[in-house]
Structure 1
Amino acid sequence: MSQTEEAAGRGANRPAGGAGGPAPVPVDGSGGSARRPFWTSRRRDQLTGYVFIAPQLFGSAVFVLLPLALVVWYSLHEWNVLAGTFDYVGAENYRALAEDPTLPSVLRATALFSVGLVLCNLSLALLLAVLLNQRLRGTVVFRTLFFSPVVVSLVAWTIVWGFLLQDNGGINGLLDTIGVDGPNWLRGEATAMVSVVVVQVFKNVGLNMVLFLAALQGVPAELYEAAEVDGASRARQFWRITVPLISPTILLTSIITVVGSLQVFAQIAVLTQGGPGTSTTVLVYYLYQQAFQFHHFGYGATLSVLLFVIVLALTVLQWQMRRRWVFHES
């Protein structure tokens, strides 16, 4: 047999699966390749994650997103509960919001309360945290003393302070012992807002103090030792080492305090009822008056939308500014 015939015979006996290799054997008998199973380990892990976050997503949808959508929907209507009417008015409530003569004074009172609360709360909390961070005897007692108002009922705390701030209350009685005639703290336009701010500062300063204290205890001591070797003063160490390293906590506490200051209600309702005049009528209390005292539920919903926009704008502004002064951001 010639070489050509031998080569032809070998080619005829070669399997059809390719050069030198066996042909693929169908798994399912249909001639196709093996299919990848649907429930892979990656998909099972993803499903497990979705199951764990499902309660939070459901709660956020039912108790946050749905109420927000309903508030916007109510702001486009005039709802008279007494007459049982629910009429679509479009942008009429927003037009009334722009023309409301009381709104500027309400926004001014809200801004004064928020600025006063944030500045006093954060500065006092940081000062207390720095003092309590010193290794001195009795610091545990002082930590408990300053943090205890946080767990006290807000209404009970406010009622007690209401008695103390009266014209013949405990504070004026204490001032009278040293020959000082104290004012009527809750009835003077110059003192009512200051009194409400002080009451709220003492109520929540302990929470921020604990957060600052935890942040201060996380600052490495080696940095202060190196700064002392270089001759840096205590003030320079505070501004160049302490503040940058606790800046994430400062951001957290500032956001919490700003949002909380815009939601104040119980203190105003118990202490001043928005008076004298509108000097302490903040936005949340004005919303309550319009919706539940004057039964203007549509306009009250419009004020809620305004409050939501203000809180969202301030939170986004603080979050965007973090790159400039927060140490761990780039």
Structure 2
Amino acid sequence: MATATPAAPAGRPSRARSLARREAITAYLFIAPYLIVAAVFTVGLLVYAFGISFTSLTASFAAANARFVGIDNYLRAMTDADFLAALGNAFWYFVIVSFFQTIGAILLAVTLNAKLQGMRVYRTLLYSPSVASSIVMSLIFLWLYLPTGFINYLLGTDIPWLTTPDRIFAPLWGAVGLGGVPAFLQGPSVAWASIMVLSIFTTIPTFMVMFLTALQDVPGFVYEAAAIDGATGPKAFWYITLPLLRPVIALVVILGTIGTFQVFDQVAILTKGGPLKTTLTPAFLIYQKTLGTGTQAEAGFAAAMAFILAFVIVAITLVQRRMIEQD
């Protein structure tokens, strides 16, 4: 004779829902401070900046005098000589710094992944440049780049590295009889290249740690199986290590791209955008236009430049991700 299963008490589902509701409320209360801060200082400011990008606002405290100008600020930014020069400088910075910091971080991580005695000491020493703030490292390189600094002492020269506007690729164009090419195609200036060296030196250790972590997660039997097929040394690196590092490479390249287009600290401390605006960056120009530092305050115009810069960064990162992650 079959026996019926006793039915659950009628109040149990309601008690479960009530408990789940209380847990959800408690969780939201814990994260409420972050949500409030993010809503006010991130989402709220983005909406405000996007709104004023369509106005003639000169400064944040003069909002009452602002008028709606439509897309005039965006059209003006597209033809503004300073903004175009800053984007050109940022492009060279992105190409050179992203390439060398990624390659350098991979090679350094592969080297430090070797099981040798005292390797932890070397890892700590090589990571130390990333521990210091960008301001401290900029001041250190400012002293190194002085005409009487350590770099000129080693080279036996007196080159004013941070005040030389000469383009580094101009001699190459002149050697082939094309010395009259546009300044943008002549490459970055000596001053801009000097700041690139600073950025590469300070960012390689950070990305090295990411690659080193990824390398330590690669199982050893993969290399053992590859060695049986004759893939050792450079072949193992090219056909085994790099493909397995592809997700980390994508992350490093995207983070590096965002950082290179937003460079500010080094320029503000070392060159202020000079000489001859060859180290002017979009972030530093937006800062000047917003606050009126050395120029008239044009907060609306600066907001438009900021959103154009954001669009450029997003477009480049999407292309990079598609290229890196494709088969």
Which interval holds the TM-score relative to the shorter structure?
0.7 to 0.9
**Once structures 1 and 2 are overlaid, which stretch shifts more, 89-98 or 262-271?**
89-98
Q: 1:312 aligns with which of 311, 314, 318?
A: 314
Q: Is there any run of 5+ residues in structure 1 with no aligned partner, and where?
A: 1-26, 28-32, 326-330
Structure 1 runs (4+) greater than 3 angstroms displaced: 33-36, 41-59, 80-84, 315-323
Which position in structure 2 is the counterpart of 1:11? none
Aligned-partner residue type, residue 201 of structure 2: F
Call closer, same or farther: CA 1:134–1:111 in 2, change over 3 Å: same
Call closer, same or farther: CA 1:45–1:316 in 2, change over 3 Å: farther
Is the contact between residue 59 and residue 298 of structure 2 (CA under 8 Å) also seen in structure 1?
no
CA distance in 1, matches of 2:61, 2:249: 50
CA distance in 2, matches of 1:142, 1:153: 21
Q: 1:210-230, CA deviations, whole angstroms, 9 ceiling, x for partnerless residues?
A: 111111111111111111121
Residue 108 (structure 2) pairs with residue 136 (structure 1)? no
Give the drift of 1:319. 4.1
Residue 14 (structure 2) pairs with residue 37 (structure 1)? yes
Is the contact between residue 255 and residue 315 of structure 1 (CA under 8 Å) also seen in structure 2?
yes
Residue 211 (structure 2) pairs with residue 212 (structure 1)? yes
Residue 40 (structure 2) pairs with residue 71 (structure 1)? no
3-state SS of paired residue (1:105)? helix
Give the drift of 1:320. 4.3
Aligned-partner residue type, residue 311 of structure 2: V
Which position in structure 2 is the counterpart of 1:147? 127
TM-score normalised by the chain length of structure 2:
0.80
CA distance in 2, matches of 1:167, 1:138: 38
CA distance in 1, matches of 2:110, 2:214: 10
Give the drift of 1:88. 2.5
Call closer, same or farther: CA 1:206–1:83 in 2, change over 3 Å: closer
Computing the radius of gyration from Cα coordinates, the structure with the larger value is 1
Aligned-partner residue type, residue 302 of structure 2: G
TM-score normalised by the chain length of structure 1:
0.80
Call closer, same or farther: CA 1:257–1:82 in 2, change over 3 Å: closer
Is the contact between residue 59 and residue 290 of structure 2 (CA under 8 Å) also seen in structure 1?
no
3-state SS of paired residue (2:66)? strand
Is the contact between residue 146 and residue 205 of structure 1 (CA under 8 Å) also seen in structure 2?
no
**Once structures 1 and 2 are overlaid, which stretch shifts more, 115-124 or 224-233?**
224-233
Which position in structure 2 is the counterpart of 1:105? 85
CA distance in 1, matches of 2:306, 2:265: 17
Aligned-partner residue type, residue 159 of structure 2: P
Calculate the aligned-residue CA RMSD, in Å: 2.5
**Once structures 1 and 2 are overlaid, which stretch shifts more, 200-209 or 49-58?**
49-58
Which position in structure 1 is the counterpart of 2:97? 117
Aligned-partner residue type, residue 14 of structure 2: P
Q: 1:228-280, CA deviations, whole angstroms, 9 ceiling, x for partnerless residues?
A: 12112311111111111122211221221111111110101111211221211
CA distance in 2, matches of 1:43, 1:82: 42
Is the contact between residue 60 and residue 299 of structure 2 (CA under 8 Å) also seen in structure 1?
no
Residue 36 (structure 2) pairs with residue 58 (structure 1)? yes
Which position in structure 1 is the counterpart of 2:164? 188
Which position in structure 2 is the counterpart of 1:301? 303
Which position in structure 1 is the counterpart of 2:263? 264
Call closer, same or farther: CA 1:98–1:319 in 2, change over 3 Å: same
Paired-residue identity, %: 34
Aligned-partner residue type, residue 258 of structure 1: T
Is the contact between residue 128 and residue 209 of structure 1 (CA under 8 Å) also seen in structure 2?
yes
CA distance in 2, matches of 1:287, 1:56: 27
Q: 1:107-141, CA deviations, whole angstroms, 9 ceiling, x for partnerless residues?
A: 11010011111111111111111111111233222
Call closer, same or farther: CA 1:38–1:69 in 2, change over 3 Å: farther
CA distance in 1, matches of 2:215, 2:52: 47
3-state SS of paired residue (2:289)? helix
Which position in structure 1 is the counterpart of 2:136? 156
Call closer, same or farther: CA 1:269–1:35 in 2, change over 3 Å: closer
CA distance in 2, matches of 1:153, 1:49: 35
3-state SS of paired residue (1:80)? coil
Aligned-partner residue type, residue 112 of structure 1: W
